[in-house]
Amino acid sequence: MLSSPFVQRVKLALSFKGLSYEYVEENLQNKSHVLLSSNPVHKKVPVLIHNGKCICESMIIVQYLDEVFAGAGPSLLPADPYERAMARFWAAYIDDKLLSSWMTAFRGKNDEEKEEGRKLSAAMAENLEEALRNKPFFGGDNVGFVDIALGGFAAWVHAVEKIYGIKKFDAAKTPLLAAWVERFGALDAAKAVLPDVDVLVEVGKRRQAESDAAAAAAAQGN
């Protein structure tokens, strides 16, 4: 699905590894038999089908690609066991903490909850900033596992700013992350697969309108 940041992670990994693949767009409102049969547990994208076997969940797919195609392109996970553990830690942090706070900021039940989400997301970003200190990418001089994890959201960071005027990575508070978004997005391998920001803006506006309509209908029902 074009707008899915999780799908973008897999496309980024494939791009940086220099691997060719067939991309199949999925309509999540009318899920195909292929999706339902290849991911019967979660019934979500992305799904990688390789040699007739199905691999699900974005960062598990990224790890799979890095291991199976170790000789293709750069290694995304470090060779050192400790560094590999740290990369997995920060990748999990992005989903468990940073993304969770973003979702609260946008989908909180009321203004107070949304404001709490915004405060929390700022704190989570500041923590993530520390993992980027003294290096251009989370992987060091080159893109690594954590860059792919956060890179899936790179285009959405710009789209959110256009839609809501909100900077998810404020240069005044998290200058390293703000610079990283621009640096990562300028890489040829990223530009080759990241979705057009204006397309995401339209998707975001449509979702917001649908959310507002649902909230208004619920209010009338009460």
pLDDT in tens, 51-103: 999 999 999 999 999 999 999 999 999 999 999 999 999 999 999 999 999 99
Give the whole-angstrom CA distance, residue 137 versus residue 143. Answer: 6
Query: How much helix, strand and coil, in percent to the nearest 5, is found in the chain?
Result: 60, 5, 35
Give the whole-angstrom CA distance, residue 222 versus residue 60. Answer: 43
Dihedral of alpha carbons 58, 63, 69, 75, sign: positive
With a CB cutoff of 8 Å and minimum separation 6, the contacts of 31 are: 43
C-alpha radius of gyration, the chain, whole number? 18
The reply to whether 42 and 143 lie within a common domain is no
Count of Cβ atoms closer than 10 Å to residue 138 Cβ: 25
The reply to whether 85 and 133 lie within a common domain is yes
Q: Give pLDDT, residue 109.
A: 83
The reply to whether 44 and 88 lie within a common domain is no
Q: Which residues pair with 56 in a beta bridge?
A: 47
Residue 7 clears pLDDT 90, i.e. is over it: yes
Q: Is residue 74 part of a domain?
A: no
Per the document, the length of the chain is: 222
Report the CATH number that the domain containing residue 59 is assigned in CATH. 3.40.30.10
User: What is the four-CA torsion angle of 135, 136, 139, 141, rounded to 10 degrees?
Assistant: -90
Domain that holds residue 119: 81-197
The reply to whether 86 and 190 lie within a common domain is yes
Residue 222 clears pLDDT 70, i.e. is over it: no
Give the whole-angstrom CA distance, residue 192 versus residue 181. Answer: 15
Prediction pTM value: 0.94
Give the angle 68-73-78 at the CA atoms, nearest 5°.
70
> Of the residues 21, 47, 68, which one is the last residue of a structural domain?
68
Give the whole-angstrom CA distance, residue 141 versus residue 78. Answer: 12
The reply to whether 99 and 183 lie within a common domain is yes
Dihedral of alpha carbons 156, 161, 162, 163, sign: positive
What is the amino acid identity at position 188? D
pLDDT in tens, 149-197: 999 999 999 999 999 898 999 999 999 999 999 999 999 999 999 999 9
The reply to whether 87 and 64 lie within a common domain is no
Give the whole-angstrom CA distance, residue 101 versus residue 92. Answer: 14
Report the CATH number that the domain containing residue 121 is assigned in CATH. 1.20.1050.10
